[in-house]
Amino acid sequence: MNILAIGAHFDDVELGCGGALARHAANGDTVYVYVATVSGFSNQYDQSVRSSEVARAEADAAMEILGVQKMFCGEFKTLQIEFVDPLNIEILKLVQDLKIDMVYTHWVGDIHHDHLALSRASLHSCRHVPRLLMYRSNWYHSTVDFRGNFYVDITSHWEQKEKAILAHESEMERTGRKWVSFFRNEAENAGQRIGVKYAEVFEVVKWLQP
């Protein structure tokens, strides 16, 4: 099976579906990742927080940890993704050229500007992909509820997910490693619901059972 994980920034797929991707790779599936932005960004005072070069290098390391076959990188600027045809076409080409069977993408209820735009583009461009799941990659509140209704046991792959998150050293320094503790708690809570140690939970858009 050919898997495509779609993220707005370097680190999104690691946080949202890194365990599932590692599990796919371990099971013999071919895993690809598409990241839409260059991912560098500045703060409200126009001071650089993370360079695009650093973000890309950290993502390369994370992809290797997860067993990703290849990462494709867009050229959109951080916080400037829009639901426009160039983005739709970029995703559609990947889906068709790579013969994608299953997609992981951002949750359509995410309030982050880039995440929401990319989710909408994914829903549009992946309309013929038989399986589509949405993930959360932050802790922002929204006005709608994430309807997590699809669970993946990542107990055997939590260590890979954690190492992939930690590969983003620039963000770990900025956030004080809070990402790791937050997503570990999320994985433990999801795991308790289904009787395993660690799990990732997704919202199903569609699932065609062959």
> Are 17 and 5 in contact, with CB atoms under 8 Å apart?
yes
What is the percentage of the chain residues whose pLDDT exceeds 70? 93
- Segment 63-78, tens digit of pLDDT: 999 999 999 999 998 8
- Give the lowest-confidence range in 31-45, 89-103, 151-165: 31-45
Query: Tokens 């992809």 — which residue?
Result: 63
Biggest distance spanned by C-alpha atoms of the chain: 52
Express each pLDDT in 168-200 by its tens digit: 988 777 766 788 999 999 999 999 999 999 999
User: Which sequence spans correspond to the domains of the chain?
Assistant: 2-207
Q: Residue 103 CA to chain centroid, in angstroms? A: 10
Residue 191 neighbours by CB distance under 10 Å:
20
Q: Mean per-residue pLDDT for 120-138?
A: 97
Task: Tell me, yes or no, if the pTM score tops 0.85.
Answer: yes
Residue 54: its pLDDT value, please?
85
Which residues make beta-bridge pairs with 202? 150
Token reading at 158: 């939590």
DSSP state string for 13-34: HHHHHHHHHHHHHHTT-EEEEE
Ordered alpha helix ranges (H), 27-157:
52-66, 85-97, 113-125
Query: What is the pLDDT at residue 48?
Result: 56
**pLDDT for res 43:** 54
pLDDT-derived band at 45, boundaries 50, 70, 90:
very low
Distance from chain centroid for Cα 81: 16
pLDDT digits (tens, 9 = 90+) for 14-26: 999 999 999 999 9
Q: Which CATH number fits domain 2-207: 3.40.50.720, 3.40.50.10320, 3.40.50.2300, 3.40.50.1370?
A: 3.40.50.10320
Phi-psi region of 117 (alpha: psi -120 to 50; beta: other; left: phi over 0): alpha
How far apart are alpha carbons 96 and 76 in whole angstroms? 21
